[in-house]
Structure 1
Amino acid sequence: MSIASFISYLSLEKNYSPHTVLAYEKDILDFKDFSTLQFGLTDIDEASYGLIRTWIISLVESGISNRSVNRKVASLKAYYKFLLGLEKLTINPLAKHKALKIPKKVEVPFSELEMERVLGQVNYGNTFKGKRDKLIIELLYATGIRRAELINLKMKDVDLDGNTIKVLGKRSKERIVPLLELVKQSFLEYEVVRNELNAIQDEAYVFLSSKGNKIYETLVYRVINRYFSEVSTKVKKSPHILRHTFATHLLNKGADLNAVKELLGHSSLASTQVYIHNSIAELKKVHFSAHPRNKKL
């Protein structure tokens, strides 16, 4: 029953998404199956760190990436932390566990030229899909919102008079993000064709399919990949790269790191500081041109 209680806690009290809750549950049940098959232990509440470490080793040897292993262990660690809160455990067996090292992924943002081309030279057409797709790209680049935040954006959350949108981020945390005038104009154009759809099933949501249903993650990915393939040779073209691009371009132009943090909806500054690495070329230019010692050369 402890696992079921934990899953309910994640869903009802922590308000995690169904997808996230399912991932936690799968990770924990995978460990339970391993414990039962390998050691005959049916109650993982009694598992020792030695047993857990054996499971971790088996995951690594099976070829699973260190990143995926860390995620699974994090799920189990959260479960034991939950049991500690209920006083069903006196110590978390994973309290002193150190995560496996993972290589840093370099996310290469789109250049300003690529953004100018995709928004100024690509022909989207005067159709519903064209107007919608262009607005999706403009909104992601102009606000830095996440793909899920874009998908779940509702009509009532868009304030065109005030040039803002209200975004519901992770952990149901709301934030207000300003809208550029160009994006506002694209929204007005999209709204016209949106209202002309024959049947709208999900009226509350901003972005709809041609059948009037709320859009989905794969559709957004396809939109980004399709249009950026016309202007960019980068291997990875995704909504998340647009989020990186938003942050990088703002920082390159001298935006305050704390301001970018608030716009992105990050809970800590450490998450935002990742984007500084993408701006290192610009930082070098500033350093080179501005430092007094460089004038001595």
Structure 2
Amino acid sequence: MSTGGPLEPRATVEAMTLPAALTVPLEDFCVHLRADLRRSPRTVTAYRTDLESLFDHAADNGVTRLAEIDVSALRSWLADGRGAAEAPATLQRHWASARVFFRWACAEGLIGVDPAARLKAAKVPRRLPRTLGVDQARRLLDDAVASASTDDSPQGARDAAILEVLYGSGIRVGELCGLDLSSLDRARDTLRVLGKGSKERTVPLGDPGWRAIDGWLSRRSEWQTASSGQALFLGARGARIDPRVVRRMVHQHLRSEPGFPDLGPHGLRHAMATHLLEGGADLRTVQEILGHESLATTQIYTHVSTERLRRAFNQAHPRA
């Protein structure tokens, strides 16, 4: 499940003590997410945070058993969120967490009736993702490559390769950090990527990306340690690079470019998808490259492209 909104709970739960009849199903559900559905730690944390908030709300109202949580209790919990001015995307994530949990609880025989089946989702206004223009993406990458050529440490080469791979392939930051040396298929100019739900896919990478990878591999041994294993990208201490390091690095490079939006790695993924569609790629191909399960998720990029065309038309056409 996409986590949509921020992961922070609406109230601190560290001092919260819930009845065992509520905590035991929650722990079993989290095991199910990790072991059966192979959800990421970040997604499991989002579910846990939402459900702890729900159970805390229920316990405050005298509910001590899972079967006592009905649709009225769920609506009351969501209403609390609206009263606290939580973002629509966060409310939608609360709704989704409740729907998935109670569907599982019903299937496991923990409850007889699914109280979340009658819940209506919060409406989330569609916001177009911020992205880079083609010229901006080219400048960002050219500057990173130029910087790498003057860097005495391997960091410049590594960062240039990461930026080229993120934009060149459109993979997620977690997928990039999970790349191994064996993920590189030079004969086909592709990367083998392990995506959400442990689903493997193959994505193409262009010549600039391969040149940047070769530049990094020529320096990789300077950071390599016993803990490096087969990881493609390493941190300064030799272990597999952490997603937080990648996010911080991407932000730093974008902030160094005057007038550029302050995007993270996902912004480069948005840019790649938008530029593919603007260049004539069909939606199904972009969906496959990005690893989207639903075509509707990919369609947001058609709106980005259309909005950009509309702005250009309005600025340039005398009868716009």
Structure 2 length as normaliser, TM-score?
0.84
Cα separation, 1, equivalents of 2:162 and 2:87: 32
Letter aligned with residue 150 of structure 1: L
Q: Deviation at 1:198?
A: 5.6
Paired with 1:230 and 1:22, the residues of 2 have a C-alpha distance of: 33
Q: 2:58 maps to what in 1?
A: 35
Deviations 1:158-213 (A, max 9, x none): 12233111001111111001121221121111111002226352222111111101
- 1:1-297 aligned at under 5 Å gives the runs 1-37=24-60, 39-122=61-144, 123-124=147-148, 125-126=150-151, 127-197=153-223, 199-280=225-306
Unaligned runs of 5+ in 1: 288-297
The alignment partner of 1:50 has SS state of helix
Task: Report the Cα offset of residue 115 of structure 1.
Answer: 1.4
Deviations 1:80-99 (A, max 9, x none): 10022123334321112111
CA shift in 2, pair 1:198/1:2, >3 Å: closer
Normalised by the size of structure 1, how large is the TM-score? Answer: 0.90
Alpha-carbon RMSD: 2.2
3-state DSSP of counterpart to 2:116: coil
Indicate if the aligned counterparts of 1:146 and 1:243 stay in contact, CA closer than 8 A: yes
Contact kept? 2:105, 2:111, Cα under 8 Å: yes
C-alpha contact (below 8 Å) 2:140/2:257 kept by paired residues: yes
The Cα shift of 1:112 comes to 1.1
How much has 1:263 moved relative to structure 2?
Answer: 0.3
Q: Deviations over 1:129-178 (max 9, x none)?
A: 00000011100111000011111111111122331110011111110011
CA distance in 2, matches of 1:212, 1:85: 45
Find the aligned partners of 2:94 and 2:127 in 1 and give their Cα distance: 19
Aligned partners of 2:283 and 2:298 also within 8 Å: yes
- Aligned partners of 2:241 and 2:187: how far apart in 1? 25
1:108 shift after superposition: 2.0
CA deviations on 1:8-34 (whole Å, 9 max, x unpaired) are 111111111222212212221221111
Q: For the structure 1 residues 98 and 181, does the alpha-carbon distance in structure 2 shift closer, same or farther, using more than 3 Å as the test?
A: same
Closer/same/farther in 2, CA of residues 120 and 68 from structure 1, 3 Å limit: same
Higher mean Cα deviation, 94-103 or 275-284? 275-284
Q: May I ask how many residue pairs the two structures share in their alignment?
A: 287
5+ residue gaps, structure 2: 1-23, 314-320
Partner deviation per Cα, 1:37-93 (whole Å, 9 max, x = no partner) = 1x2111133211111111111122123222212212211211110022123334321
* Distance in 2 of aligned mates of 1:75 and 1:8: 15
